[in-house]
Amino acid sequence: MVTKIGRRVHEYEGKPIIYGYPYEDLVAWFEEHGEKKFRAGQLWDWLYRKRVTSFEEMTNLSKDLIAKLNETFTFPVLNEKIKQQSTDGTRKFLFELADGLLIETVLMPQEYGLSICVTTQVGCNIGCTFCASGIIAKQRDLVAGEIVAQVMHVQRTLDEVAPGDRVSHIVVMGIGEPFDNYENVIKFLKVVNSDAGLAIGARHITVSTSGLAPKILDFAKEGLQVNLALSLHAPDNDTRSKIMRINRKYPIEVVMEAINEYIRTTNRRVTFEYIMLDHVNDSVEQAQQLADLLADKKRLSYVNLIPYNKVREHDQYERSSKDRVVAFYDVLKKNHINCVVRKEFGHDIEAACGQLRSSQMKRDRDRKRKTEEEKLFE
């Protein structure tokens, strides 16, 4: 089911987005402007508990304070261009930002709650040859408020259609490389994790990276209880460099040393994402290589085997057969590696990350070209 909605997004007008401020930063702003610090708590409650979309709705704030907030901050509303809903309950949103650029967000019903996958960049420069997100190069980073706004929009949708339901889990695995937009992602994590607001538990949040080793080390020092996932996808440098260009800059041995340091610092388990590509990275020999790679961190590692969603622009790849997936899985289990074959979501809609966005951009280009051709014959 596809629904098009024509609501326009507000222009930012050079003002910072209110959603981009962690609670401690808002407290500091109120004190700097001669306001009592408890006002920050009132604002936070209006933003994330009552979920209003304008300062004027905040009835326990003075008119002078509301005017000051309007002068300083802006309230973004994402333009929901397309919403797709799968038969399994997955909902995929295509949003237009204030500058007309497009991003995706996905809501997935899980056994343990409702999980949202958010985007952190418009496009991606990592260069994974199987992924729809990188078909179009990165156009810009999202600011923290734009990442939070995705969660808020989806939560308001739930408030309307299923009162009482709430986003309970977040995966930062949408379009873009989160650690290539590090500062904004950290601000986002602090906002959504705050007990006074959305109160999404840190252990219910997962950030995925393709392997930016220096940022993995930085993340280890943040003191956050947020989960880390590494998009590994191959156990050797030759294969990984062919399907992920980032491996040429940060080869497996460099990334794994950063992961080891992360584990030493945090004592937290790391998830290793592994997309199954037929006769590319799915042999039993490669499964053994993966098991050997993770042998020293069995207790604190978890492998997520991911069925491949075929992307039109990357037709050189096919999904691994069930037999090859089972054989790969069996090798890992025999080596006492914790692993699972990830449940599929949105199989009947444009499910691959970035696929809905790239399809819409292609439709827009085709429409524009057709219009220009028609003008030639007027």
Considering 34, 57, 72, which residue would you say is the last residue of a domain?
72
CATH number (domain holding residue 55): 1.10.150.530
User: What distance in Å separates the CA atoms of residue 129 and residue 349, rounded to the nearest whole number?
Assistant: 21
CA distance 110 to 108: 6
Residues noted as catalytic: 104, 353
Q: What local confidence, expressed as pLDDT, does residue 188 receive?
A: 97
State the CB neighbour count (10 A cutoff) for residue 193: 22
Q: What is the pLDDT of residue 378?
A: 60
Give the model's pLDDT for residue 114.
96
Q: Indicate the residue type of 265.
A: T
Residue 256 counted as domain residue: yes
Q: Is residue 14 part of a domain?
A: no
Q: d(Cα 266, Cα 203) in Å, to the nearest integer?
A: 13
CB 151 within 8 A of CB 192: yes
Q: Is residue 373 part of a domain?
A: no
**Which residues span the domain enclosing 52?**
22-72
| Ranges of H-type helices in 279-354 | 284-293, 322-334
Q: Is residue 357 left, alpha or beta, with left meaning phi > 0 and alpha meaning psi from -120 to 50? A: alpha
Residues 28 and 119 in one domain: no
If the chain, 378 residues long, is cut into consecutive pieces of 10 residues, what is the mean pLDDT of each piece?
41 81 96 95 96 96 96 89 89 93 94 95 91 84 96 96 95 95 97 92 97 98 97 98 96 98 97 97 98 95 93 82 97 97 69 53 55 57
DSSP letter for each residue of 109-133: EETTEEEEE---EES--S-BTT-SG
Residues 55, 94, single domain; the answer is no
- 93 and 175 assigned to the same domain: yes
- Are 181 and 141 spatial neighbours (Cβ–Cβ below 8 Å)? yes
Q: Helix 144-161 vs helix 182-193: angle between axes, to the nearest 10 degrees?
A: 40
CA-based nearest residue to 172, from 122, 130, 213, 209? 209
Give the separation between CA 106 and CA 353, rounded to whole angstroms. Answer: 9
- Are residues 96 and 175 both part of a single domain? yes
Residues 274 and 199 in one domain: yes
Q: How many CA atoms lie within 13 A of 113 on its CB side?
A: 14
What's phi and psi for 214, nearest 5 deg? -60, -35
In a domain, 1, yes or no: no
Report d(CA 207, CA 229) in Å as an integer.
Answer: 6
Rounded-to-integer distance, Cα 176 and Cα 124, Å: 5
- Of 56, 72, 88, the residue at which a domain comes to its end is 72
Considering the domain boundaries, does residue 8 fall inside one?
A: no
Question: Number of structural domains, the chain?
Answer: 2
Same domain, 138 and 66: no
Q: Who contacts 270 (Cβ-Cβ below 8 Å, separation ≥6)? A: 228, 229, 230, 259, 262, 263, 297, 300, 301, 302
Q: What pLDDT, on the 0 to 100 scale, is given for residue 364?
A: 56
Let me know whether 146 and 265 are in one domain: yes
Last residue of a domain, one of 14, 38, 72: 72
Q: Does a structural domain hold residue 113?
A: yes
- What pLDDT does residue 300 have? 95
CA–CA distance from 30 to each of 42, 160, 175, 282, 330 (Å)? 11, 32, 34, 55, 57
Q: Name the pTM for this structure.
A: 0.89
Bridge-partner residues for 102, per DSSP? Answer: 96
Same-domain check for residues 226 and 295? yes
Cβ atoms of 121 and 142 closer than 8 Å: yes
Q: What is the pLDDT of residue 368?
A: 55
Residues 289, 259 share a domain: yes
Specify the amino acid at residue 26.
L
Looking at the fold, whether 91 and 210 belong to one and the same domain comes out as: yes
Amino acid 14: pLDDT: 77
The CATH number given to whatever domain includes residue 160 is: 3.20.20.70
Domain match, 58 and 201 both: no
| Residue 314 confidence (pLDDT) | 66
Judge whether 5 lies within some domain: no
Same domain, 36 and 112: no
Domain-embedded: residue 370 = no
